[in-house]
Amino acid sequence: MKKIFTAFLAIVVICILLALGDVAFNQQKTGGGKQTLTIYNWGDYIDPALITKFEHQTGYHVDYETFDSNESMLTKIRQGGTNYDVVVPSEYTVQRMKKEHLIAPLSHQKLPNLKYIDPQFLNRSFDPDNRYSVPYFWGTLGIIYNDQKVNGKDVQHWEQLWNPRLKNNVMLIDSARDVFAVALITQHHSVNTTNYHQLKLAQAHLKQLTPNVKAIIADEMKMYMEQNEAAVGVTYSGDAREMININPHLHYVVPSEGSNIWFDNMVIPKAARNKKAAYEFINFMLDPQNAAQNAQYVGYATPNKAAKKELPKKVTNDKAFYPPETTMKHLQVYRDLPLRVLGEYNDLFLEFKMFAK
Amino acid sequence: MKKQRWSWGKAYLALVFVILYAPILYLVVFSFSSGQTMEKYHGFSWQHYADLLADTRMITIVINTLLVAFLASLLATIIGTLGALAIKDARRPWKNSLLSLNNVLMVSPDVIIGASFLIFFTMLGVRLGFVSVLLSHIAFCIPIVVLMVLPKLNEMSPTLVDAAYDLGASRWQVLSLVVLPSIAPGIFAGYFMAFTYSLDDFAVTFFVTGNGFSTLSVEIYSRARQGINLEINALSTLMFIVSLLLVIGYYLISKRGGRRTRIVAVKEGDAQ
Amino acid sequence: MRQKAMFIVPYALWIILFVIAPLVLIFYQSFFNINGQLTLNNYAEYLTSGVYLKMTLNSVWYAFLITLVTLVISYPTAYVLNRLPNKQFWLLLVILPTWINLLLKTYAFIGLFSRTGTINGFLQFMGLGSHQLLFTDTSFMFVAAYIEIPFMVLPIFNNLAEINPSLINASYDLGATHWQTFRRVIWPLSMPGVKAGIQAVFIPSLSLFMITRLIGGNRVITLGTAIEEHFLTTQNWGMGSTIGVVLIIAMFIIMFMTGDKKQKGGRH
């Protein structure tokens, strides 16, 4: 009995010590006292130096938390009990959050730097007049290829992915809407189609792609493309930038016939605790100097016209990341679809994956 | 003739051992490589261990994981031991149904446990995070504790308890002076098993975690998807050493408990 | 007597809250569609669309292959182990890898199997050229079998250890060859262990979900993967629960098929 009791006590003591350690670590992070601004953003999606700069300028303490998908972020905000002041969702999620009354309308007076944003990125259909959101970064869906394994000419268009020469050499992103976008575009349909027949056609076309599909994965694609595991990948421009930085044999193409264009936007949730700081932060990030610094760090395309001028010509002239007007007008934005239709996309995608061999 | 057959068998066994340990040694070896990938060994370095120690996020997660494991197995051991006492005293039809219910979580696939707990917590409105993970771990650790304690209870001679009562001992005295000491090895073994179950779990935690709370397995999953990072190798090496110590510890405990063979029935879990 | 009843309170609570309630809930949830309306559509879709049935068959087929591979590797292992001196120690060495986090082992295989990884390096060194190893059915099954081996070795080993040696000696005395002894005496006597091993391996193989993605490149969809997708990605809990119910039924079938006919029940 004594032995059991001693062991019990020892374990309780260990638990208390661990809990104390946990608390100590968390306190170190929050650095007590000051007013706090809590940001909820994608992982590695801001230059940390800017956070420090903002803290120095304003005296706020910044808590930076991250998520890895719009869905997981949304679930958390919906659940409540959170107090994020600034969140960075993609456009279709902005639409959904608006519908579910999760975000607060913005007062443009408090955001004087909004004037620096390129008008072509304002007033988009997912948020007319930018009542709820301010663009943060934008990007595209495209093809990344390895010039050691495939000739650049052969991967300029989506349809070329079906070329039998790419057998077992194409990696796809594990996302129903993106993969269907590829097939829908080759068939000249909208990437937002709610027509089941068109989806079935797209799926039939995708099934013909299966001999070429090597894997359907998410973040791992970066590692595999960098290590020359496959010739071609379908991925987002931001990830492509990171891969190219590591492996210079990689190149990114946005097919001129069209693709998806996406926007990540800053919004203020209704439940925000420190709205004043939130406005200050958004305005701070819209400042051309800061936006340029952030774009340099993150590597995505900035919607900030003034900031773009600050960036090296080599970056802004890169047609892969700032596509020419002719391509831009073919790019389509995802709209938030009804759950029933999303379910159809997901089911058809699951079925496609099942037979992807 | 006989001798040759034996050496074939040993060669086969050696091959199996090579396969079983190759991935583990592979991780360990590269944790000391000064390179950044698992392609080529680049010469000895402690670099990745230094990175690991400087990674506060990882350290917080290790602390969280250990906290969950220690706490969950402690509570599971208490509840499980009480459960075993109750099952032991239960009458026939009840006893069998209790045992079958006990084994449901032992045989259920992790995905089912994770998914059903997720529904359960969402319906109750429990916030996903430390609490939901802790409760789930307690839940799936209880049955193994029961299975470890029950045989010890059955081995105990009933006359011992009767004798204690005859000598005027109270119920509490009987429990603390007679019953618990004689089932102590089972309780320790149960705690140990619960601890390793908790440390090792990925699938259930993956379902019920949220709000930034993460355990090692879940963190490794998300990091492995971002690419090879030798910091993870360093971590695996440390975990391998800890596991080794745990196994040795368990070996010693069960040896003292007298029934060495039982080690074997243990991690079986799913097989029950 | 009343005090005694106190013991059972926490344990009974656990049974009600964490054993019965979740099972009931998963069953309940399977009758709701993605918009939260009560419906039988999930089952109708499962049974009629063909996709899910095909997936189930596929998953069962993979689980069967994985179990078979594991059995073929594990039986001789258990057999040889059982004849070694210090066999408990060697057995412990077989079990030790199960104490290493599953994710870490999988992670190691990514490095081993990649285009520029060690195995390809070795193949090239041997002049066999580099091969596509990751994202193939073979590598998926290999890793799955790797993870399951100890769980198969264990029950078979225990069973073989319990066989009375005099039976084997008797067989030799009666003039049986090694092979005859094995086939007529050892193999039948070790059947309970084999069955327990199959049970321990088959059900987890049906519900694997992390390896299908990391090693199989999402080209193998098991019941487990489908449940995970529906719960965590597409948020269609109803369909996920329906597949869950199917998996639970499959579990009972397997347990029934491999179960002990003698009904050992409460005695341990």
Residue B40 is classified by DSSP as S
A328 CA to chain B: closest CA distance, Å? 30
At residue C113, the pLDDT reads: 85
Residue A44 is classified by DSSP as T
Highest mean pLDDT among A281-285, A313-317, B156-160 belongs to A281-285
Instruction: Note the pLDDT tens digit of each residue in B38-78.
Output: 666 777 888 888 888 888 888 888 888 989 999 999 999 99
Q: Residue C146 is which amino acid?
A: Y
- From chain A, the residues in CB contact with C137 under 8 A are 357
C260 CA to chain A: closest CA distance, Å? 35
- In chain A, what percentage of residues exceed pLDDT 90? 55
> Does residue C50 fall inside a structural domain?
no
Indicate yes or no: CB of A71 within 8 angstroms of CB of C233: yes
Binding positions of A for spermidine are 92
At residue B39, the pLDDT reads: 66
> Does residue B98 fall inside a structural domain?
yes
At residue C262, the pLDDT reads: 42
Given a contact cutoff of 8 angstroms between Cβ atoms, the answer to whether A254 and A320 are in contact is yes
Give me the residue from C18, C22, C109 closest to B23, CB to CB: C109
* A234: β partners: A143
Q: List C-alpha distances in Å: A111 to A89, A108, A284, B207, C258.
A: 19, 5, 9, 40, 69
The separation between CA B29 and the C-alpha centre of its own chain, rounded to angstroms, equals 26
> Does residue C79 fall inside a structural domain?
yes
Q: How far is residue B140's CA from residue B205's CA, in Å, rounded to a whole number?
A: 11
Give me the residue from C11, C154, C241 closest to B268, CB to CB: C154
| Long-range contacts formed by C222-229: CB under 8 A, 24+ apart | C222/C58, C222/C59, C222/C62, C222/C63, C223/B111, C223/C55, C223/C56, C223/C59, C223/C247, C223/C250, C224/B109, C224/B111, C226/A350, C226/C52, C226/C55, C227/B111, C227/B112, C227/B115, C228/B111, C228/B206, C228/B207, C229/A346, C229/A350
- In chain A, what percentage of residues exceed pLDDT 70? 96
Rounded to two decimals, the pTM is 0.83
At residue B261, the pLDDT reads: 39
Instruction: Note the pLDDT tens digit of each residue in A85-116.
Output: 999 999 999 999 999 999 999 999 999 999 99
Full DSSP string of C4-39: HHHHHHHHHHHIIIIIIHHHHHHHHHTTB-TTS-B-
Split into its structural domains, chain B has a count of 1
Residues 203-222 of chain C whose Cβ lies under 8 A from any Cβ of chain B:
203-204, 206-207, 209-210, 214
Task: Show the domains of chain A with their CATH numbers.
Answer: 11-137+263-316 (3.40.190.10), 139-261+323-354 (3.40.190.10)
Token pair 């300028």 in the structure block, residue: A57
Check whether B27 has a pLDDT greater than 50: yes
At residue B77, the pLDDT reads: 92
Count the neighbouring beta carbons within 10 Å of the beta carbon of residue C201. 28
ipTM: 0.83
Split into its structural domains, chain C has a count of 1
At residue B271, the pLDDT reads: 30
Instruction: Note the pLDDT tens digit of each residue in A17-64.
Output: 888 888 877 766 655 556 889 899 987 789 989 999 999 999 898 888
Residue B244 confidence class, pLDDT cut points 50, 70, 90: confident
Residue A357 confidence class, pLDDT cut points 50, 70, 90: low
Average pLDDT rounded to a whole number, residues B69-91: 89
Mean pLDDT per 10-residue section of chain C, whose length is 268 residues: 66 89 92 84 86 88 94 93 84 83 84 78 76 83 92 90 87 87 89 89 86 83 87 84 91 79 37
Interface membership of C41 toward A (CB under 8 Å): no
Instruction: Note the pLDDT tens digit of each residue in A150-175.
Output: 998 999 999 999 999 999 899 999 88
Task: Write out the residue range of the structural domain in which residue B214 sits.
Answer: 57-230+238-271
Q: How far is residue A236's CA from residue A178's CA, in Å, rounded to a whole number?
A: 9
- From chain C, the residues in CB contact with B82 under 8 A are 7-8, 10-11
- In chain B, what percentage of residues exceed pLDDT 70? 87
Q: How far is residue B161's CA from residue B174's CA, in Å, rounded to a whole number?
A: 7
Indicate yes or no: CB of B225 within 8 angstroms of CB of A219: yes
Task: Write out the residue range of the structural domain in which residue C122 sits.
Answer: 55-258
Check whether B3 has a pLDDT greater than 50: no
Give me the residue from C51, C214, C218 closest to A351, CB to CB: C51
Backbone angles phi, psi at A260, to 5 degrees: -90, 140
> Does residue C154 fall inside a structural domain?
yes
Residue B188: give its domain's CATH number.
1.10.3720.10
At residue B272, the pLDDT reads: 27
> Does residue C24 fall inside a structural domain?
no
Residue C98: give its domain's CATH number.
1.10.3720.10
Indicate yes or no: CB of B16 within 8 angstroms of CB of C73: yes
> Does residue B36 fall inside a structural domain?
no
Check whether A251 has a pLDDT greater than 90: yes
Instruction: Note the pLDDT tens digit of each residue in A256-309.
Output: 999 999 999 999 999 888 999 999 999 999 999 999 999 988 888 999 999 999
Q: Which residue has the higher pLDDT, C210 or B36?
A: C210
Q: How far is residue A218's CA from residue A235's CA, in Å, rounded to a whole number?
A: 9
> Does residue C201 fall inside a structural domain?
yes
Burial of A162 by CB count in 10 Å (0-12 exposed, 13-18 middle, 19+ buried)?
middle
Q: Which residue has the higher pLDDT, C121 or B271?
A: C121
Out of B6-20, B187-201, C123-137, C159-173, which region has the weakest mean confidence (pLDDT)? C123-137
Indicate yes or no: CB of A15 within 8 angstroms of CB of B222: no
Average pLDDT rounded to a whole number, residues A218-233: 86
Check whether B242 has a pLDDT greater than 60: yes
